[in-house]
Amino acid sequence: MADTWLASLITATPQEGFELAITLSRRGVKYTQPDVDTLKKLRPDYANSAEALTAASQVVATNFQTVAAANNYWRK
């Protein structure tokens, strides 16, 4: 994937930061498994797995920590 989509980690609000963290997480999956058919085939396996969903939440949380740090935790 050669498209440039991430110009900055800076966001105006924590909500926007969290949404960016989700986007980062989803893009990470897309980069790791670029075959859409395979992604769709595997989705039922992880969509019904508490362990897989917890792992996905941990990835989002890690990305949110990164975005929050880049934004100085939205302190003025």
Domain count, the chain: 1
Is 80 exceeded by the pLDDT of residue 16? Answer: yes
Q: Which of 62, 72, 76, 74 is nearest to 24 (CA)?
A: 62
Q: In this predicted model, what pLDDT tens digit does every residue of 28-46 receive, in sequence order?
A: 999 999 999 999 999 999 9
Residue 44 lies in a domain: yes
Distance CA 40, CA 73 (A): 35
Residue 47 lies in a domain: yes
Is 60 exceeded by the pLDDT of residue 1? Answer: no
Residue 2 lies in a domain: no
Residue 27 lies in a domain: yes
Residue 4 lies in a domain: no
Residue 3 lies in a domain: no
Domain containing 42 equals: 14-71
Residue 65 lies in a domain: yes
Q: Answer whether 18's CB lies under 8 Å from 65's CB.
A: no
